[in-house]
Structure 1
């Protein structure tokens, strides 16, 4: 079956977005690059869920080669990749301390994180799909979301304070010193992994739809239909269960998976049906080495911040563009371009770094 270029482009758009969002120049971020303070949905709130959605699709594609059968080789690969992703996430946290001269931050190292959530979701979903019949997966995803919704409703899960069940569970398991410091709710906390796993399962099921042996145009129509259904369900649920990235609410899962499916359908139509496959190089280079470029961006960002490079560049931009918000955007774009150049060099040399 012909490779869908649109998948690589969407993966690249997502990674590029993650890098942009995480790298404001000064103390302020350009408005569209800010997360919602609590309830609500901004453009940058879509970035991480899109990536998790793509993890689900990629899981389908990678395990399809093994016919979704369990074997020593497959299980070993899943565990190896899961632990490597989690360890890299912890390593990035450690690097921030190491740059300050703290090489053993055992008492304060944050344990949850973006890569840690990605690793857990990948590992759990991968084991599910090789041991559980696929016809049960939609029911499992739905069941996880129902259970999680009930836990939020009975556990004060929509309160942005220390009484929130998510905060209570994280403090009891990790200890307050090992959690996110800027909010009482850790945005990558443990309990929210329930809905994040369901989110990844939805991506997996969409991956199954994408690789059906029917014309691409028909797959696009199916994907648009699924997207419309998820968006309708998500926005209706948001009346009672607000859209909230920090707690990864059920409505947030449906809405972000819906928008992700819709964007993917649009890209498939343009790139794979109409064959408008030129002009996507910027995003394609991110999509070919997504995890590596994201990790590199985090490491470089920490180094730039600790060594004063970010401040120097940002102040230089302010000389030309005096608006701090616009200067922050320019810095983020320049930083993203630096990662793009790195990715382009790797792509030209056909170097694709996988875990």
Structure 2
């Protein structure tokens, strides 16, 4: 397949960002305002699972990583032959910038308070690590080696969590307070772990239970699953054949994840291997649907507006994380507060989303895209 940009990838990426920065805040505000049992039930799908299990909202972050992987075979085709310094420079520059931007998004650098700096705690940083692992495997191994690397990452994570124990953590314990990934993050990151507070010389980690260091193995596996999808899409098969391969692979991954969950629970917060397979399988199915209807059937015209989010996904994410649009929105709409009552917050969230989209639209119109 020629190395042209996939419209389906841009639109799927835009769809993911739209859910995060527009649909989610408005929908959750509306659900709280209405306060109806059916709405509250739907709201459970828009909140991360407390621990075990998987809900719709748990797919947002894996889908980000998956799409970063899909793009790798296309971007690396510009560097044929043996990898040179140029491609390594590109990889490490991107990893560094994503890590730095992640620290801005986590409000570490903007606070100018060294006591609140956390080193590894953001989606962009997880994407950076996953991208690094997947990129190095793609550069130095063929497809068989990449597949072997994928299963090795999953198996290494499982073996560490299953058989290694330290300080009362691990040894097959997947509970929030006693799994090995939690122990490693506390031991390595210490005061620089997100939400960690030093009180009277004692570190208090609060209720924060997301893990990053051991989970990095499966960040790599998630991104590598996207690489496999990208290789299918970049291949020479007919479009319907590519769609079929994506669907079959996705179903196989979902079933494998469910089977593995009988031994290792599906837990997004610590990114278990079963969760990695299950979520990657759903990503494959989404990629298949978007590719078939947009690139094959040319039905993407009505969804083309999503590329405004998709082509500036990092800008959209950072604006959502860093900028408070509420002061602007409230300045223009505060007169409606007494009239709208509890629904005023819904209007505010919609106004914030409109302002963010307006900025992205202006950048899109001027063809200004942030590349890292």
Calculate the TM-score normalised by the size of structure 1.
0.86
CA contact (8 A) 1:17 1:44 kept: no
Cross-structure match for 1:165: 180
- Cα distance in 2 between the residues matched to 1:153 and 1:174: 22
- Cα distance in 1 between the residues matched to 2:337 and 2:297: 40
How far has the Cα of 1:328 moved from its partner?
6.3
1:260-306 deviation per Cα after TM superposition (whole angstroms, max 9, x unaligned): 11011111111122111211133211111111211122111xx357x
How far has the Cα of 1:224 moved from its partner?
0.6
Q: Helix, strand or coil for the counterpart of 1:242?
A: coil
1:245-272 deviation per Cα after TM superposition (whole angstroms, max 9, x unaligned): 1011111111111111101111111112
- Cα distance in 2 between the residues matched to 1:15 and 1:48: 10
Matches within 5 A, 1:206-217: 206-217=229-240
How far has the Cα of 1:231 moved from its partner?
1.0
Q: Helix, strand or coil for the counterpart of 1:41?
A: coil
Range that drifts further, 24-33 or 285-294? 24-33
Range that drifts further, 148-157 or 33-42? 148-157
Are 1:131 and 2:140 counterparts? yes
Cross-structure match for 2:102: 89
How far has the Cα of 1:309 moved from its partner?
6.9
Task: Extract unaligned runs of 5+ from structure 1.
Answer: none
- Cα distance in 1 between the residues matched to 2:322 and 2:84: 35
- Cα distance in 2 between the residues matched to 1:60 and 1:120: 17
1:82-134 deviation per Cα after TM superposition (whole angstroms, max 9, x unaligned): 10110111123346752xxxx2x223212222111111111222122212333
1:309/1:106 CA distance change after superposition, 3 Å: farther
Q: What is the total number of aligned residue pairs between the two structures?
A: 343
Range that drifts further, 332-341 or 241-250? 332-341
Range that drifts further, 310-319 or 288-297? 310-319
1:56/1:68 CA distance change after superposition, 3 Å: farther
- Cα distance in 1 between the residues matched to 2:193 and 2:24: 20
Cross-structure match for 2:202: none
How far has the Cα of 1:34 moved from its partner?
0.8
Q: Which has the larger radius of gyration?
A: 2
Q: Helix, strand or coil for the counterpart of 2:227?
A: helix
